[in-house]
Amino acid sequence: MIIDPTSGTMTDAAAPGVATRDAAGTDTAAPRTVPTDTTTNTATTDTATTASTSAPAGFEALAPVDPRDVSALEARLIRAAAERSLLDIAYRTVDSPLGPLLLAATERGLVRVAFELEGFDSVLEALASRLSPRILRAPQLLDPAAKELEEYFTGSRRSFDLLVDLVLSSGFRQTVQRYLPHIRYGHTLSYRAVAERVGNPKASRAVGTACATNPLPIVVPCHRVVRTDGGLGGYLGGTAAKQTLLTLERSGSERGTTDDG
């Protein structure tokens, strides 16, 4: 089958050198055209050079793609995937004072906030493995989360109104993570104090583990949990990121204190 790039018509003529099948069902090799000019190869060489450097026939007149058309197509694909229940996890990236952040959400709510140092590809692969491989970049579906994070970083928001999905946590870790939003903006609690607040005073180390594995940093504010001696403790985004968040909140509130309860 040959497609004429100028007219768009298709014919059944075989290309030179391509095997065909006759009416009796026997495969036959199409004859090759052999140059008859044995005195010089100049014309043949010039033709081959020209063909190799010129654009393929039919592609010269292609117009550049309008980014607005790409965005419109992307939006239609996202709607179609959602309507047909083909989308389980939507994701996008946003800029922040801490560097790029990956946001991911299920139909139940925000399920993951990841720092660049975690490796976005690795995070998406983990989500596909643990939750569902039906993941699609769908920025529009995460606009509310992106907007609230921007407001937080500019100091106009002190708490988040987003639905969250803590499916990546369970047991005591999830108990701790559900408590963390109760720590007030601009304030901190020690790991020991949080353990006491959730009913297990001897579980300071387990509280540390729950904070270190928090799938929703910033939104679920594990950065507000510090060591009893005032040290920062660990943080998924690194201690510099943790200090940046605490400084941001303290500068945006009248007074920040450490409450060991």
Sign, Cα dihedral of 155, 158, 161, 163: positive
User: CB atoms < 10 A from the CB of 243, how many?
Assistant: 13
In angstroms, the CA 2 to CA 10 distance is 5
In angstroms, the CA 104 to CA 87 distance is 12
106 φ, ψ (degrees, to nearest 5) = -100, 180
Look-up of token digits 């605490």? 246
Q: Nearest to residue 178, comparing CAs of 208, 150, 147, 211?
A: 211
The CA angle 259-260-261, to the nearest 5 degrees, is: 90
- Catalytic-labelled residue, pool 222, 226, 236, 245: 222
Task: Reply yes or no on whether 222 is catalytic.
Answer: yes
Give the SS3 label for residue 193. Answer: helix
User: CB atoms < 10 A from the CB of 140, how many?
Assistant: 14
In angstroms, the CA 39 to CA 36 distance is 9
- Token readout for 206 is 């387990």
Give the SS3 label for residue 112. Answer: strand
- Token readout for 232 is 């920062």
- Residues marked active site are found at 222
